[in-house]
């Protein structure tokens, strides 16, 4: 099972036990997730691989509190959130403050420029507009796209758009970052750069980064790579590296 | 951050074109309202311009504008001698069709006695009638010019235009014209000699040319119009209709059908506008499904999503209203009939448009609220 991974700082930010998710009932029942046990530590970058239908995205949705599990137990950032039922009603706020999402197709709002895309996420969390803009520009600088702060998504390259999307995911300082195929639209050089960035974020901000990917060229950039099949965790590889690779 | 305004700012052309479409639709509604108000103003303009306290007409009739009224000419003298009556003037009304300068001209013709109640109002050029026959004062909307002659009557006698008025039209939109009472009676009641001979040979009395349609009465300052009207009705067996009542008859009997017609049409147009606005808002929402799912996923509350949709609907409605108003203000002068846009009507329509926009956004709001945040995570 994947729970056995060695945490870089010993603090689990994501913990799942016996999590199941099925769709339908009777003969048409599909078990999307079966008895999933998983922990991800602060500062750790974990990859999820597997064929289509293996349950990777469903697992990401469950951890993101977007899809309710059918059974099991789940704790996020030290707080139990699911134990046979949701333990808190304001999952939206949980997502807003503790989870950052990065998508396959950046999903930036096309009518907002880079700064506004990042600042909007901060304003949703109650940050004043002026302060949100200042912090958004600083975050874009940190991610190397400060020079594109006024550009709209349509004018950004794939790599730039993905960095702006990462900035938005980091807007409210989440401890858990979930990324669904973040390097899919990028070439191998840019994909590697994005992964290095995610590793740097995990290390600098002591966040747990969970990445769904098919991209074999970035497998070696994870601390652990978990393989899934038919809704189950099939195995995992642990990549030992000295001093991290950012 | 106001997402709706930023979306509008980013998609200016799209919103401008959509606003133009909605604006044209609302422009038609504003035009309908203006046409009704214009027709009402036109219909009331002539009776108001006469400055009469009472309209004396044939018994059990509602006045010369609502239905035919025929009374003897000496009625005016009888009325004039009654207590409380300051002035009385005999008038006739009829519609005439003529050809002038090779073009057809349709006129609402009033015959009056110069120096007595009745006659042209809003004279903008020339002068009133100075001779007993063959002079005419017409409204400028007829297209006739000073000095031009208009052939009228069974013998096509030439009437010379000596005066022009401004803005005087009948309830049906025909320009008003004035001739002397004698000329008007001749035009209305004279029959060709052959027809008169046939009538006489058949033992029937030839039509008299001494009838009139109404007597306009101005009462003395100390007299009450209602009391004078009561006396006229009691002793002269005539109907004496107060000015306000005459206006009410006009509105009720002559304009009401038009009001109903335009009202129904406006209702249909507003319903169509509501459906179109709802479809536009729904389509705009559908175009933003992924953005809305993303917003929900990153933690935006429903009020942010609802605000985005409702505010865009309101921007669309308000800009459409403004565009429609500007369009109609630019083209209203080209309508064949008066288009009179009243601030009161505009205020009511604006409120209706806002309500329509709020209702129209319900469909989009429903779709947006139902969107599963997980849609944002779906590959795309």
On the question of pLDDT at B209 being above 80, the answer is no
- Looking at residue A10, its pLDDT comes to 58
**Domain ranges, residue A178:** 2-238
Residue A129: list chain B partners with CB under 8 A.
1
Half-sphere exposure of B154 (CA within 13 A, CB side): 12
Residue B240: beta bridge partners? B56
Alpha helices of chain B — where are they, by DSSP H? 3-10, 12-49, 75-80, 181-189, 193-201, 225-236, 243-249, 256-287, 289-297, 302-331, 343-370
**Percent of chain B clearing pLDDT 90 (strictly above):** 39
Residue B297: list chain A partners with CB under 8 A.
64, 66, 95, 101
Tokens matching residue A166: 């990462």
Using alpha carbons, select from B175, B157, B73 the residue that is nearest to residue B120: B175
- Looking at residue B54, its pLDDT comes to 93
Instruction: Tell me the pLDDT tens digit for each residue of B304-350.
Output: 999 999 999 899 899 999 999 999 999 998 988 889 999 999 999 99
Using alpha carbons, select from B198, B211, B97 the residue that is nearest to residue B156: B97
Q: In this structure, is residue A19 part of a structural domain?
A: yes
On the question of pLDDT at B182 being above 50, the answer is yes
Mean of pLDDT values over A94-111: 88
Please count the structural domains in chain A.
Answer: 1
On the question of pLDDT at A149 being above 60, the answer is yes
Using alpha carbons, select from B11, B32, B22 the residue that is nearest to residue B264: B32
Q: In this structure, is residue A244 part of a structural domain?
A: no
Using alpha carbons, select from A114, A127, A210 the residue that is nearest to residue A173: A127
Q: In this structure, is residue A25 part of a structural domain?
A: yes
Chain A CB within 8 Å of residue B257 CB: no
**Mean of per-residue pLDDT scores for chain B:** 88
Cα B330-B336-B340 angle, rounded to 5 deg: 55
Contact A111 B6 (CB under 8 A): yes
Split at pLDDT 50, 70, 90, the class of B205 is: low
Beta-strand ranges (E) seen in chain A are: 12-23, 30-41, 45-49, 71-76, 79-83, 99-102, 176-180, 208-212, 224-229, 232-238
Contact A104 B296 (CB under 8 A): no
Q: In this structure, is residue A245 part of a structural domain?
A: no
On the question of pLDDT at B241 being above 80, the answer is yes
CB B20 within 8 A of CB B323: yes
Instruction: Tell me the pLDDT tens digit for each residue of A9-48.
Output: 455 899 999 999 998 888 888 889 999 999 999 999 999 9
How far apart, in Å, are the Cα atoms of B9 and each of A243, B169, B319?
Answer: 48, 47, 13
Distance CA B109, CA B120 (A): 11
In angstroms, the separation between the Cα of residue B313 and the nearest Cα of chain A is 17
**Mean of per-residue pLDDT scores for chain A:** 86
CATH code of the domain covering residue A121 = 3.40.50.300
Contact B372 A129 (CB under 8 A): no
Residue B298: list chain A partners with CB under 8 A.
95-96, 101, 121, 124, 168-169
- Looking at residue A1, its pLDDT comes to 41
- Looking at residue A124, its pLDDT comes to 92
Q: In this structure, is residue A246 part of a structural domain?
A: no
On the question of pLDDT at A245 being above 50, the answer is no
Contact B1 A116 (CB under 8 A): yes
Q: In this structure, is residue A211 part of a structural domain?
A: yes
Distance CA B230, CA B226 (A): 6
B294 vs A104, A107, A123: nearest CB: A107
The reported pTM is 0.74
Residue A23: list chain B partners with CB under 8 A.
none
Q: In this structure, is residue A225 part of a structural domain?
A: yes
CB B357 within 8 A of CB B317: yes
Taking CA–CA distances from A132, the nearest residue in chain B reads: B1
């Amino acid at each position: 099972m994947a729970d056995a991974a060695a945490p870089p700082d010993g603090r689990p930010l994501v913990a799942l036990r016996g999590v199941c998710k099925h769709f339908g009932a009777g003969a048409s029942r599909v078990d999307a997730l079966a008895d999933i046990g998983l922990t991800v530590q602060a500062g750790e970058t974990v990859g999820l691989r597997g064929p289509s239908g293996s349950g990777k995205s469903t697992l990401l949705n469950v951890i993101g509190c977007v899809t309710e599990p059918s059974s099991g137990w789940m704790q996020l950032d030290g707080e139990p959130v699911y134990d046979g039922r949701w333990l808190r009603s304001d999952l939206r706020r949980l997502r807003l403050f503790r989870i950052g999402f990065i998508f396959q197709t950046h999903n930036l709002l096309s009518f907002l420029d880079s700064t506004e895309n990042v600042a909007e996420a901060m304003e949703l969390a109650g940050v004043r507009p002026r302060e949100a803009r200042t912090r958004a520009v600083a975050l874009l600088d940190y991610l190397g796209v400060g020079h594109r702060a006024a550009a709209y998504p349509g004018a950004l390259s794939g790599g730039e758009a993905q960095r702006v999307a990462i900035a938005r995911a980091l807007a409210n300082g989440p401890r858990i970052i979930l990324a669904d195929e973040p390097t899919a639209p990028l070439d191998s050089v840019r994909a590697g750069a994005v992964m290095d960035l995610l590793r740097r974020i995990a290390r600098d901000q002591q966040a747990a980064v969970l990445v769904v990917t098919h991209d074999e060229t970035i497998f070696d950039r994870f601390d652990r790579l978990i393989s899934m099949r038919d809704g189950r965790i099939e195995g995992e590889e642990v990549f030992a590296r000295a001093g991290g690779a950012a | 951050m106001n997402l709706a305004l930023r979306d509008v700012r980013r998609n200016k052309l799209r919103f401008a074109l959509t606003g133009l479409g909605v604006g044209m639709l609302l422009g038609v509604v504003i035009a309908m309202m203006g046409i009704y108000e214009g027709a009402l103003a036109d219909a009331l303009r002539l009776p108001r311009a006469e400055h009469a306290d009472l309209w004396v007409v044939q018994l059990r009739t509602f006045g010369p504008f609502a239905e035919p009224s025929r009374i003897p000419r000496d009625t005016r003298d009888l009325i004039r001698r009654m207590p409380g009556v300051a002035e009385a003037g005999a008038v006739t009304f009829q519609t005439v069709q003529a050809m002038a300068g090779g073009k057809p001209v349709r006129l609402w013709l009033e015959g009056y006695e110069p120096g007595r109640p009745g006659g042209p109002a809003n004279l903008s050029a020339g002068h009133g009638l100075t001779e007993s026959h063959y002079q005419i004062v017409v409204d400028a909307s007829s297209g006739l010019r000073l000095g031009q002659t208009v052939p009228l009557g069974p013998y096509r006698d030439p009437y010379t235009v000596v005066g022009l008025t401004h803005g005087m039209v009948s309830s049906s939109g025909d320009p008003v014209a004035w001739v002397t009472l004698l000329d008007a009676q001749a035009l209305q009641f004279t029959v060709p000699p052959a027809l008169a001979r046939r009538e006489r040979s058949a033992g029937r009395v030839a039509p008299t040319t001494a009838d009139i349609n109404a007597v306009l009465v101005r009462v003395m300052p100390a007299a009450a119009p209602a009391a004078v009207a009561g006396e006229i009705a009691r002793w002269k067996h005539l109907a004496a209709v107060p000015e306000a009542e005459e206006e009410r008859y006009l509105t009720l009997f002559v304009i009401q059908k038009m009001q109903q017609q335009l009202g129904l049409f406006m209702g249909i147009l507003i319903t169509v506008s509501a459906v179109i606005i709802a479809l536009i808002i729904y389509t705009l929402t559908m175009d933003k499904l992924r953005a809305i799912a993303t917003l929900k996923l990153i933690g935006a509350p429903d009020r942010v999503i609802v605000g985005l949709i409702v505010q865009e609907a309101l921007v669309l409605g308000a800009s459409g209203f403004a565009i429609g108003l500007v369009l109609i203000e630019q083209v209203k002068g080209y309508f064949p009939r008066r288009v009179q846009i009243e601030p009161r009507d505009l205020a009511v329509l604006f409120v209706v448009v806002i309500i329509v926009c709020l209702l129209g956004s319900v469909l989009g709001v429903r779709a947006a609220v139902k969107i599963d945040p997980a849609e944002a995570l779906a590959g795309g």
